[in-house]
Amino acid sequence: MRTSNPVFRTLERSEAYVGSEAASYRGIMFKTGLLLGSAVLSGFLFLYAIANGLLPLESVIPMLIGSLILAFISVMIASRSVRLAAPFALIYALSEGIFLGLITVMFDAYAPGVALAAVIATAAIFTVMLFLYSSRTIRVTPRFRRIMYSVLLGILLFIVLGFILQLLGVNFSLGEPIILLISGVFIIFGALMLTLDFDRAEMIVEGGMDRAYEWMVAVGLMVTIVWIYIELLRFLAIISNSRR
């Protein structure tokens, strides 16, 4: 039973943890909403501090880099330790919120209205994929998991290769239509990845696992939601720019 989300793949390998209360769908949704709300609050406070001079502009880049590093470390710990999942899931959300807040403002300044559109589109994609999964219109099979896992590896290799080429000083331009196509593919992949996340949540709840695992599931869902939101920002910004 595999999933393309690295957080959930780690969860599959984690040791069983038995507590007094079992995981529930309500608990998973509450914790996912809490993490998303924490990210929004963190981003708002970060931007408020910058706008009101509480943080000097020269500290923005160091804080951004630091928050990304902290978010990466926190999500790794939250996805590997059941006992530490709760505090580090919140640390991840707060750290990620700083990054999301900054890029949201940047994209919205570049293409006004794109941030709100991305939020609405992300919520719509989540709702549609949840309906398709719950109605069994989309069935998560072992073959489907293998395909998604292979696609994920391909995407990661593509990103790493592009990063290496940039470090080597290789400048290349894919062109706006190609970038738009790639972003669209990433959005579709993220949407399909949600079904694997829903499947993992169902297995945890139906398997009677401890409620502490709800935090691990919530982190995995947030990783996917953030992926979709960022790709939607880029996709909508490109479309907005092409219409000017």
| pLDDT tens column, 48-78 | 988 887 888 788 888 888 999 999 999 999 9
What whole-number distance in Å separates Cα of residue 59 and Cα of residue 39? 20
* Structure confidence by residue, pLDDT tens digits, 119-146: 999 999 999 999 999 999 988 888 888 8
What per-residue string of b and e applies to 112-143 under the rule 16 or more CB within 10 Å gives b? eebbebbeebbeebbeebeebbeeeebebeee
Domain ranges, ordered by start, for the chain? 6-10+21-242
Query: How much is the pLDDT for 50?
Result: 86
Nearest to 46 by CA among 108, 114, 99: 99
Cα–Cα distance list, 143 to 5, 122, 147 (Å): 16, 26, 6
Greatest CA separation found in the chain?
Answer: 58
What whole-number distance in Å separates Cα of residue 133 and Cα of residue 192? 10
Ranges 73-77, 101-105, 111-115, 151-155: which has the least confidence: 151-155
User: What is the distance between the terminal CA atoms of the chain, rounded to a whole angstrom?
Assistant: 47
Report residue 230 as tokens: 């960022």
* Structure confidence by residue, pLDDT tens digits, 177-214: 888 888 899 999 999 999 999 998 998 998 888 888 99
What whole-number distance in Å separates Cα of residue 140 and Cα of residue 93? 28
Cα–Cα distance list, 163 to 170, 171, 228 (Å): 10, 11, 21
Average of per-residue pLDDT across 227-239: 92
Q: How confident is the model at residue 161 (pLDDT cuts 50, 70, 90)?
A: confident
Handedness of CA 86, 89, 95, 98 (dihedral sign): negative
Q: Which amino acid is at 132?
A: L
Quickly tell me which residue has 């994920």 as its tokens: 152
